[in-house]
Amino acid sequence: MNTESNWAESAWQKVIHKLERTSKSIGASFPNGSANGRYERSSPHDWVSGFWPGLLWLAYQETKNDRFKLLAVECERQISHTLWEFEHLHHDVGFMFGLSSINQYKLMQDEEAKRHALMAASLLAGRFNAAGKFIRAWPNWGGEDHSGWAIIDCLMNLPLLYWASKEIDDPRYRHIASLHADTVLREFLLADGSVHHIVSFDPETGERVGARAGQGYAADSAWARGAAWALYGFTLCYFYTGQASYMEAAKRVADYFLHHLPEDQVPYWDFKLPEFGTQVPRDSSAAAIAASGLLELAALLPVEEGAEYQRHAAAMLRSLYENYGAWDDEEEEGLLLHATGYFAQDIHVDAPLIYGDYYFVEALLKLKNTP
Ligand code: GLY
C-alpha cells in the first residue's frame, strides 16, 4: 500500500459518492463547463464529448455499477453518429473516440466501437498537411481561415493514431503522428520549456507563418493548460515510440510547469502574465491534466527520477482534493472548482470543467492503485 493511500482513498469515496448522484442528472448527455451549479451541455461533436463517457468508464471499472456502463454506451451511440458529420469534426476526435469508443472496445470487446475508433483515426490522419508536416486543428470556424493552424492540444490526439497503427498492424498512422509530434518539437517548444498554443503555417508551402495567442494571454506567453497538454502529450508519444526526444521534451515542459506553480500547486491560467495576484483566476484543470501526465512520466523513468515527479503529482492532486473540490455541494454538478476555459472570451472562467474532472479522477485512480 503506498503512502498516499489514506487521503487518496477518502478522495475516491467523495468522487464516487458524487458521481452516483450527478450521473442521474447528467445522464447520457455531454457536459462542458459549469455555470450556476449545472454543467452546460454540448453536442456529441463538440471536442469535450468523450470526457463524460470516459469518466463513466473509470467509475465502472472501479465499481462494476452497470448504470455507469449503460450511460457510457448511450454516449458512444451518439458520438458514433458524428462520424457522418464531416464538416463539424476536428482534430479532437482523438479525445472523443479515444475515451468513448476505445474504452468500450476494450471493456466490452465491442467490435463496432473499435470500428468507430478506426474510422476516427482515418479522419484524423486525413487532416495531415504533408507540406508542413502538421495535423490541421479545426475547420474554418467563424469564417476564419484555419487551413494552416496547428495547436498544442493535438499532441493528446496522437494516441488515437498510434493505437490504430498497432491495432491494424500498419505503420501509416504512426508515421503521421510522429511527423506531427516532430513539428511540434521544432515549432512550439521554447528553450525555457514553455510552449505556444497555436502555430500557423502556409498550407501550400508548409512554411511557418507565426505563433498566435489562442487561449493563452499572448502569442509568446505560456498558457497553463497548453503546457499540461504538452507535458502529457509528449509523454504519450514517448510511450508509443520510445523516441528519446519526446521524453526530453516532456521533462523540459514538466520542469517548467512545476517551477512556476504557486504555493498551493495549482497554476494561474497563464504562467507569463504581466501581473499576478489574488484576482487572477487559477486553472484547476491544468493541474489535473499535468498531474495525470506526471504520473505517466514517472512510470516511464528510472525509479529515483520517477519518484520525484510522482511526489509532485501527488502534491498537486492532494491540493486539488483539499482546496478545490465541490464534494459535498449538492447544488454543483462539477467535481473541481476554479478552472479556466477560455479567459479572453470569458467562457467558463473560474468554473468546473468536465476535462478537469476527468483528469483529476484518472490521476487519482493511478495514484490510489499504484502498489
Ligand atoms: N482547446 C482545448 C482546451 O481548452 O484545452
354 with 51: CB under 8 angstroms?
A: yes
2 pLDDT above the threshold of 90? no
Backbone angles phi, psi at 25, to 5 degrees: -80, -35
- Rounded distance from Cα 347 to ligand 1 centre (Å): 11
Q: What is the pLDDT of residue 4?
A: 62
pLDDT band (50, 70, 90) for residue 109: very high
Which segments of 42-197 are extended strands (E)? 128-129, 134-135, 149-151
- Do residues 162 and 234 touch, judged by C-beta distance below 8 A? no
Structural domains present in the chain: 5-368 (1.50.10.10)
pLDDT of residue 39: 98
Residue type, 315: A
* Residues designated as active site: 92, 153
* Closest approach atom of ligand 1 to CA 342: 4
Regarding the beta carbon of 153 and ligand 1, being less than 6 Å apart is answered yes
The CA-atom distances, in angstroms, between 282 and each of 101, 194, 274 are 32, 18, 15
Rg of the chain (C-alpha set) = 19
Pocket flag, ligand 1, residue 221 (CB < 6 Å):
no
Task: Using most ligand atoms within 8 A of CB, pick from 46, 91, 197, 215 the residue to mutate for ligand 1.
Answer: 215
CB 354 within 8 A of CB 42: no
Residue nearest to atom 2 of ligand 1 (CA): 153
**For residue range 158-208, what is the model confidence (pLDDT) as tens digits?**
999 999 999 999 999 999 999 999 999 999 999 999 999 999 999 999 999
The yes-or-no verdict on residue 147 having pLDDT over 90 is yes
Q: Residue 209: pLDDT band by 50, 70, 90 thresholds?
A: very high
Alpha-carbon span 225 to 229, nearest angstrom: 6
User: Own/partner pairs for 216-220, CB < 8 Å, 24+ apart?
Assistant: 216/270, 217/270, 217/272, 217/273, 217/343, 217/344, 218/272, 220/196, 220/272
Q: Give 341 Cα–ligand 1 centroid separation in angstroms.
A: 7
157 lines ligand 1 (CB under 6 A): no
Average pLDDT, the chain: 97
Percent of the chain scored above 90 by pLDDT?
Answer: 96
Q: How far is the CA of 355 from the centre of ligand 1 (A)?
A: 9
Q: What is the tens place of the pLDDT at every residue in 304-354? A: 999 999 999 999 999 999 999 999 999 999 999 999 999 999 999 999 999
225 lines ligand 1 (CB under 6 A): yes
pLDDT of the residue at 370: 86
Task: State the pLDDT at residue 3.
Answer: 57
Per residue in 19-37, pLDDT (tens digit) is: 999 999 999 999 999 999 9
pLDDT digits (tens, 9 = 90+) for 245-280: 999 999 999 999 999 999 999 999 999 999 988 799
Percentage of the chain beyond pLDDT 70 is 99
What pLDDT is recorded for position 278?
79
Quick check: 1 pLDDT over 50? no
Q: Whose CA is nearest to atom 5 of ligand 1?
A: 225
Nearest CA to ligand 1 atom 1: 153
